[in-house]
Protein backbone atom coordinates (compact mmCIF):
# COMPACT_ATOMS: atom_id res chain seq x y z
CA UNK A 1 0.00 0.00 0.00
CA UNK A 2 1.28 3.45 -0.89
CA UNK A 3 2.14 5.90 1.86
CA UNK A 4 -0.56 8.14 3.23
CA UNK A 5 -0.71 11.81 2.25
CA UNK A 6 -1.45 13.72 5.44
CA UNK A 7 -3.17 17.11 5.30
CA UNK A 8 -3.49 19.25 8.41
CA UNK A 9 -6.50 21.56 8.54
CA UNK A 10 -6.67 24.24 11.22
CA UNK A 11 -9.70 24.01 13.46
CA UNK A 12 -12.74 26.27 13.10
CA UNK A 13 -16.51 26.19 13.58
CA UNK A 14 -17.06 24.88 10.05
CA UNK A 15 -14.15 22.44 10.13
CA UNK A 16 -16.23 19.56 8.74
CA UNK A 17 -16.82 21.47 5.50
CA UNK A 18 -13.07 21.81 4.89
CA UNK A 19 -12.49 18.17 5.84
CA UNK A 20 -15.11 16.99 3.35
CA UNK A 21 -13.76 19.24 0.59
CA UNK A 22 -10.20 17.92 0.91
CA UNK A 23 -11.44 14.34 1.31
CA UNK A 24 -13.27 14.64 -2.04
CA UNK A 25 -9.92 14.87 -3.86
CA UNK A 26 -9.55 11.72 -6.02
CA UNK A 27 -6.36 10.50 -4.32
CA UNK A 28 -7.62 8.02 -1.72
CA UNK A 29 -4.32 7.99 0.18
CA UNK A 30 -5.36 11.19 1.95
CA UNK A 31 -5.49 11.27 5.72
CA UNK A 32 -6.66 14.45 7.45
CA UNK A 33 -5.57 15.79 10.82
CA UNK A 34 -7.45 18.45 12.76
CA UNK A 35 -4.90 20.99 13.99
CA UNK A 36 -6.64 22.58 16.95
CA UNK A 37 -5.77 25.60 19.05
CA UNK A 38 -7.95 24.01 21.72
CA UNK A 39 -5.89 20.83 21.99
CA UNK A 40 -2.61 22.54 20.98
CA UNK A 41 -1.55 19.47 18.96
CA UNK A 42 1.39 21.15 17.24
CA UNK A 43 3.33 17.89 17.45
CA UNK A 44 1.00 16.51 14.75
CA UNK A 45 2.61 18.91 12.27
CA UNK A 46 5.46 16.41 11.93
CA UNK A 47 3.01 14.02 10.25
CA UNK A 48 1.71 16.57 7.74
CA UNK A 49 2.63 16.97 4.08
CA UNK A 50 0.48 20.07 3.54
CA UNK A 51 -1.58 22.57 5.52
CA UNK A 52 -4.96 24.23 4.95
CA UNK A 53 -5.49 27.43 6.96
CA UNK A 54 -9.26 27.57 7.39
CA UNK A 55 -11.62 30.51 7.79
CA UNK A 56 -13.13 31.90 10.96
CA UNK A 57 -12.41 34.61 13.49
CA UNK A 58 -10.96 38.07 12.98
CA UNK A 59 -7.20 38.25 13.52
CA UNK A 60 -6.54 40.35 16.63
CA UNK A 61 -5.05 43.70 15.51
CA UNK A 62 -2.28 43.48 18.09
CA UNK A 63 -0.62 40.92 15.82
CA UNK A 64 -0.14 43.62 13.19
CA UNK A 65 0.57 46.46 15.65
CA UNK A 66 -2.75 48.23 15.13
CA UNK A 67 -4.50 47.82 18.52
CA UNK A 68 -6.67 50.83 17.70
CA UNK A 69 -8.37 48.73 15.00
CA UNK A 70 -9.88 46.41 17.61
CA UNK A 71 -13.04 48.55 17.83
CA UNK A 72 -13.85 47.53 14.25
CA UNK A 73 -13.55 43.79 14.96
CA UNK A 74 -16.36 41.45 15.88
CA UNK A 75 -15.63 41.23 19.63
CA UNK A 76 -17.36 37.85 19.89
CA UNK A 77 -15.34 36.45 17.01
CA UNK A 78 -11.69 37.06 17.95
CA UNK A 79 -9.41 34.33 19.29
CA UNK A 80 -5.88 35.28 20.28
CA UNK A 81 -5.34 31.63 21.22
CA UNK A 82 -6.04 30.63 17.63
CA UNK A 83 -3.90 33.47 16.27
CA UNK A 84 -0.93 32.35 18.35
CA UNK A 85 -1.43 28.69 17.41
CA UNK A 86 -1.59 29.40 13.68
CA UNK A 87 1.46 31.64 13.96
CA UNK A 88 3.37 28.59 15.19
CA UNK A 89 1.86 26.47 12.41
CA UNK A 90 3.27 28.95 9.89
CA UNK A 91 6.62 28.93 11.68
CA UNK A 92 6.71 25.20 11.00
CA UNK A 93 5.55 25.37 7.38
CA UNK A 94 8.13 28.04 6.59
CA UNK A 95 10.94 26.12 8.24
CA UNK A 96 10.00 22.89 6.47
CA UNK A 97 8.70 24.21 3.12
CA UNK A 98 5.27 22.62 3.53
CA UNK A 99 2.64 23.62 0.95
CA UNK A 100 0.01 25.97 2.40
CA UNK A 101 -3.46 26.81 1.11
CA UNK A 102 -5.09 29.66 3.03
CA UNK A 103 -8.84 30.30 2.85
CA UNK A 104 -10.53 33.57 3.93
CA UNK A 105 -9.11 34.11 7.44
CA UNK A 106 -6.24 31.92 6.21
CA UNK A 107 -5.30 34.67 3.75
CA UNK A 108 -5.53 37.29 6.47
CA UNK A 109 -3.45 35.47 9.09
CA UNK A 110 -0.93 34.57 6.39
CA UNK A 111 -0.58 38.19 5.32
CA UNK A 112 -0.11 39.30 8.93
CA UNK A 113 2.44 36.54 9.56
CA UNK A 114 4.60 37.93 6.76
CA UNK A 115 4.48 41.44 8.20
CA UNK A 116 1.36 42.83 6.54
CA UNK A 117 -1.65 44.59 8.05
CA UNK A 118 -5.42 44.29 7.65
CA UNK A 119 -8.36 46.56 7.00
CA UNK A 120 -10.48 45.67 10.06
CA UNK A 121 -13.86 46.50 8.48
CA UNK A 122 -14.07 47.07 4.73
CA UNK A 123 -17.15 49.37 4.63
CA UNK A 124 -15.53 51.70 7.19
CA UNK A 125 -12.57 52.06 4.79
CA UNK A 126 -14.81 52.97 1.85
CA UNK A 127 -14.93 49.49 0.32
CA UNK A 128 -17.98 47.52 -0.76
CA UNK A 129 -19.67 45.11 1.63
CA UNK A 130 -17.99 41.73 1.08
CA UNK A 131 -19.93 39.79 3.72
CA UNK A 132 -22.99 37.67 3.03
CA UNK A 133 -26.33 39.44 2.52
CA UNK A 134 -28.44 40.39 5.55
CA UNK A 135 -30.95 37.67 4.65
CA UNK A 136 -28.18 35.07 4.87
CA UNK A 137 -27.79 34.53 1.14
CA UNK A 138 -24.31 34.16 -0.30
CA UNK A 139 -22.77 37.17 -2.00
CA UNK A 140 -20.92 36.59 -5.29
CA UNK A 141 -18.73 39.04 -7.18
CA UNK A 142 -16.12 39.18 -9.92
CA UNK A 143 -12.36 39.16 -9.40
CA UNK A 144 -9.60 40.16 -11.80
CA UNK A 145 -6.70 37.69 -11.95
CA UNK A 146 -3.15 38.79 -12.68
CA UNK A 147 -1.34 37.23 -15.64
CA UNK A 148 1.76 35.07 -15.14
CA UNK A 149 0.71 33.87 -11.69
CA UNK A 150 -0.06 30.50 -10.15
CA UNK A 151 -3.72 31.49 -9.88
CA UNK A 152 -3.88 32.46 -13.55
CA UNK A 153 -2.22 29.19 -14.53
CA UNK A 154 -4.91 27.14 -12.81
CA UNK A 155 -7.82 29.43 -13.76
CA UNK A 156 -6.78 29.91 -17.42
CA UNK A 157 -8.74 33.15 -17.39
CA UNK A 158 -8.30 36.78 -16.35
CA UNK A 159 -11.57 37.06 -14.43
CA UNK A 160 -13.76 34.82 -12.32
CA UNK A 161 -16.83 34.79 -10.11
CA UNK A 162 -16.35 33.89 -6.44
CA UNK A 163 -18.33 33.83 -3.21
CA UNK A 164 -17.69 36.36 -0.46
CA UNK A 165 -18.11 36.04 3.31
CA UNK A 166 -15.58 38.46 4.83
CA UNK A 167 -15.60 41.94 6.38
CA UNK A 168 -11.82 42.34 6.69
CA UNK A 169 -9.11 42.46 4.04
CA UNK A 170 -5.49 43.20 3.25
CA UNK A 171 -4.30 46.73 3.98
CA UNK A 172 -0.49 46.52 3.63
CA UNK A 173 0.85 43.46 1.86
CA UNK A 174 3.25 41.17 3.74
CA UNK A 175 6.91 40.78 2.83
CA UNK A 176 7.77 38.45 -0.03
CA UNK A 177 4.16 38.29 -1.23
CA UNK A 178 2.35 39.51 -4.33
CA UNK A 179 -1.30 40.20 -5.06
CA UNK A 180 -2.65 37.88 -7.74
CA UNK A 181 -6.36 38.78 -7.74
CA UNK A 182 -8.50 41.76 -6.74
CA UNK A 183 -12.18 42.65 -6.64
CA UNK A 184 -13.56 45.56 -8.66
CA UNK A 185 -13.31 47.86 -5.61
CA UNK A 186 -9.64 47.00 -5.13
CA UNK A 187 -9.89 44.48 -2.28
CA UNK A 188 -7.15 41.84 -2.37
CA UNK A 189 -8.67 38.45 -3.20
CA UNK A 190 -5.59 36.25 -3.65
CA UNK A 191 -1.92 36.27 -2.63
CA UNK A 192 1.09 34.18 -3.62
CA UNK A 193 4.80 34.31 -2.97
CA UNK A 194 6.73 36.78 -5.08
CA UNK A 195 8.79 35.05 -7.79
CA UNK A 196 12.06 35.99 -6.08
CA UNK A 197 10.93 34.94 -2.57
CA UNK A 198 12.22 31.70 -1.08
CA UNK A 199 9.85 29.10 0.33
CA UNK A 200 7.38 26.39 -0.54
CA UNK A 201 3.97 26.51 -2.22
CA UNK A 202 1.82 29.30 -0.78
CA UNK A 203 -1.58 30.25 -2.16
CA UNK A 204 -3.95 32.36 -0.07
CA UNK A 205 -7.47 33.20 -1.26
CA UNK A 206 -10.14 35.38 0.28
CA UNK A 207 -13.12 33.37 -0.96
CA UNK A 208 -14.36 29.95 0.17
CA UNK A 209 -13.70 27.34 -2.54
CA UNK A 210 -15.12 24.62 -0.28
CA UNK A 211 -18.50 26.41 -0.32
CA UNK A 212 -18.71 27.35 -3.99
CA UNK A 213 -21.98 26.27 -5.60
CA UNK A 214 -20.14 25.27 -8.79
CA UNK A 215 -17.52 22.93 -7.33
CA UNK A 216 -15.98 21.78 -10.61
CA UNK A 217 -14.65 25.22 -11.51
CA UNK A 218 -10.96 26.21 -11.52
CA UNK A 219 -11.51 28.54 -8.54
CA UNK A 220 -12.93 25.70 -6.43
CA UNK A 221 -11.81 22.19 -7.39
CA UNK A 222 -8.90 23.69 -9.33
CA UNK A 223 -7.50 25.22 -6.16
CA UNK A 224 -7.70 21.90 -4.36
CA UNK A 225 -6.05 20.14 -7.29
CA UNK A 226 -3.07 22.49 -7.54
CA UNK A 227 -2.58 22.40 -3.76
CA UNK A 228 -2.64 18.60 -3.74
CA UNK A 229 -0.22 18.48 -6.67
CA UNK A 230 2.20 20.57 -4.60
CA UNK A 231 1.69 18.25 -1.63
CA UNK A 232 2.24 15.13 -3.71
CA UNK A 233 5.41 16.66 -5.13
Residue 152: active-site member: no
Which strands make up the sheet holding 100-103, listed edge to edge? 30-35, 5-10, 50-53, 100-103, 202-205, 188-193, 177-183, 139-145, 159-164
Which residue is catalytic, options 12, 48, 73, 104? 104
Structural domains of the chain, count:
1
| Angle, CA of 97, 221 and 197, to the nearest 5° | 30
Per-residue pLDDT at 213 = 84
Query: Where in the sequence is the domain holding 22, given as residue range(s)?
Result: 5-232
Per-residue pLDDT at 74 = 80
**Regions in the chain scoring below 50 on pLDDT:** 1, 133
**CATH number for the domain including 173?**
3.40.50.880
Q: Judge contact between 145 and 180, C-beta under 8 A.
A: yes
Report the alpha-carbon distance of residue 208 to residue 88 in Å, rounded: 23
What pTM was estimated for this model as a whole? 0.94
The β-bridge partners of 31 are 6
Which residue is catalytic, options 19, 49, 121, 208? 208
Residue 73: active-site member: no
Per-residue pLDDT at 1 = 41
Residue 208: active-site member: yes
Per-residue pLDDT at 124 = 78
Which residue is catalytic, options 57, 189, 192, 210? 210
Amino acid sequence: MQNKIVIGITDCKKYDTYHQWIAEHPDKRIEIIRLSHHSQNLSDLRKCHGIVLSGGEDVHPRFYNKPEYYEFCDKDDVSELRDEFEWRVLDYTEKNNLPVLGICRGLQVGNVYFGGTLIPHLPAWGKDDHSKYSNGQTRYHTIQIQDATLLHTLAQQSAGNINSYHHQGVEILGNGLMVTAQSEDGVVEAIERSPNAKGGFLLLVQWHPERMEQQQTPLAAGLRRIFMEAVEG
